[in-house]
Amino acid sequence: MKVAVVGATGLVGSVMLQVLAERNFPVDELIPVASDKSAGKQVDFKGKKYAVVTIDQAIALKPDLAIFSAGGNTSLAQAPRFAEVGTVVIDNSSAWRMDPTKKLVVPEVNAQVLEASDKIIANPNCSTIQMVVVLKPLHDRYKIKRVVVSTYQSVTGTGVKAVEQLMNERKGAQGPMAYAHPIDLNAIPHIDVFQENGYTKEEMKLVLETQKIMGDHSIKVTATTVRIPVMGGHSESVNIEFENEFDLTEVRHLLESENGIIVVDDPAGSQYPMPMHAHGRDEVFVGRIRRDYSQPKTLNLWIVADNLRKGAATNAVQIAEYMLAKGLL
C-alpha cells in the first residue's frame, strides 16, 4: 500500500501522519508531498525519516491512496492527475465538497455511499463533521426540521500563522497577522469570506454540506461562525427542531450508543464538553443536553471536537479504512 500525504509539512498534514501511525493504517510505502520549495525536507513517520517529494514525483510513483491537505487550488489542479493514474484521493479542502459528481463523507453518517469507482472523495468541513455525527442518530429517530448552529472555533482551524498570531499577542510581541483584528481576548464573527447573502463561506458550508451528507435537503440550517482564542478544538451551540416529539432520556441513550460520540453531561458537577478535553481525541463530545422551552419538539446541545483530528485528519483516515475494509481501495 503506497500512501501519499499531500501537504505533509502543514499543520493538518502533520496530524494526518500522526493519525495514520496511531491507527496502524497499512502504509507499506509513505510518500510525503509538499510544494516544490519544501522538497527534500524530512518528516517523521513511525520513528523513520522520509524525504518530502514534489507532486510530479509523487504522481510518477502511482500511490494507491493520496490524502490531500494542501488547499483548494492545489486540489482542483492536482487531484485529477492522481486519479488518472488510479490513485484514490481523499481531499480535505473545500474544492470538491459540493461537486455533485463527488461523494462528501463522514463514515459514521454516510459511508455506504462510497463505491469502487470513487477516485476523488471529499472530506467535509471540520465544523460540519462534528455536528452531523451527532445529528444523524437524532434525525433517524425524530426527523430534523431545522438546525440553528453557532460555532466557537479554534485558531488551529486557520493554520500555523493564526496560532503564531495568538501566541505573539499573549507575549506582547509583534508578528504576522492571520486575522484582520487581534484574536487574543477577542471573538471574531468572521470565518472565511463574506458572501452576497451576508453569510460567510464557512457558515454556508454548514448549511450545504449538512444537507448533502445527511442526504436530506429538507433540513433547514442557519449558522453563525466565530473565531475565538482557543486551541484544541471547535465548539458548537446547536438548536434542533424535530418533526416528532422526543424524550430526553432516550436522546441521551441514542447518543451514548453511537460509536465516536462521548456524552459529557453533568451540569451539577460542572461536567460538559470543552476544547481542552477534546484536544488530541478522535471522538465527538456532546453535553448541555436540554429541551428548548421556547418552542415545542426542540433540543439544545453543546458539541465539541478536535478540529485537526475528527474535523480533518481522522475523518479522512476513517474514510480510507472503510474503503479498505470493503475492498474499494
Catalytic residue among 139, 181, 190, 234: 234
Cell output for 275: 476544547
Of 126, 139, 277, 279, the catalytic one is: 126
Q: Return the bridge partners of 227, or none.
A: 153, 188
Q: What is the C-alpha separation between 276 and 282, in angstroms, rounded?
A: 13
Strand residue runs (E) in the chain: 2-6, 29-33, 42-45, 48-51, 65-68, 88-91, 103-104, 120-122, 144-153, 220-227, 234-242, 261-263, 284-291, 298-305
User: What are the DSSP calls for 55-122, one per residue?
Assistant: HHHHHHT--SEEEE-S-HHHHHHHHHHHHHTT-EEEE-SSSSTT-TTSEE--HHHHGGG--TT--EEE
**Alpha carbon separation from 190 to 30, 118, 153, 199, 201 (Å, rounded):** 37, 34, 11, 9, 9
Number of residues that this document lists for the chain = 329
Q: Is position 139 annotated as part of the catalytic site?
A: no
**Identity of the residue numbered 161:** K
The values of phi and psi at residue 322, to 5°, are -65, -45
126 is catalytic: yes
**Among all residues, which ones are annotated catalytic?**
126, 234
